[in-house]
Amino acid sequence: MAGHFEPLPGGGAAVALDEVEIAILRSLAVQLLELIGPGEAPAEDEDPLAALFAEGPSEPPADPALARLFPEAYASEESEELRAKSAEFRRFTENDLRARKRDDALAVVHGLDALSPRGDGGAVLKLAADDSRHWLGALNDLRLTIATRLDITDEDEGGELYRLPDDDPRKPMVMAYLWLGVLQETLIETLMP
């Protein structure tokens, strides 16, 4: 189980994490929460149904990592009509997408905070099936964010980055990216029938 998720009887998944891995995962999830932003809490006197119809932003985020997490619905550079459709789609969907991404990242933080450490400071994280889906979403968002920061594209998957010398300042993020990929892949395998 060390280093990868394994299925639990009756559904769910488990992974053994050491103290450093727990700290890294928690730190990355908190940074993701900070990147996504706090979200809007409805005022006490606000109609709860009004929050369902609140409009979000119509412009794509300026931060490249956020733009990757909240991509354009249509290739908007093609025409003014597609730009308008993309803005409208973003306005009505981005708030919900941000809330889901926040929930996923919070599930990671809460899951790690609830761990009971073993004598060596590590712990075994056990996830129910629903928690596994939150974790899968957060792992995906973390990898997309790191890939953006490292300029890894879908086409090259970072080829030269995997051969960085140990003194390169990008090396820790590349290692985190690869490790998160293993966690993501093995978690996906536990969810398959």
Lowest-pLDDT range of 43-47, 117-121, 126-130 = 43-47
Mean pLDDT, the chain, integer? 86
What per-residue confidence (pLDDT) applies to 164? 85
CA distance 143 to 159: 15
What per-residue confidence (pLDDT) applies to 1? 44
8 is written with which tokens? 């639990």
**What is the value of pTM for the model shown?**
0.86
SS3 state of residue 19: helix
pLDDT exceeding 70 applies to what percent of the chain?
Answer: 85
What per-residue confidence (pLDDT) applies to 27? 97
Q: What is the pLDDT of residues 144-154, one digit of tens each?
A: 999 999 988 76
What per-residue confidence (pLDDT) applies to 45? 63
Confidence band (pLDDT; 50, 70, 90) for 121?
A: confident
Average pLDDT over residues 112-125: 87
Scan for tokens 């999830």, then name that residue: 29
What per-residue confidence (pLDDT) applies to 94? 87
Single out the residue of 150, 50, 31, 49 nearest to residue 101, CA to CA: 31
What per-residue confidence (pLDDT) applies to 183? 97
Sign of the Cα torsion 173, 176, 180, 182 reads positive
Q: What is the pLDDT of residues 1-60, one digit of tens each?
A: 467 999 998 889 999 999 999 999 999 999 999 999 886 655 566 666 555 556 777 788
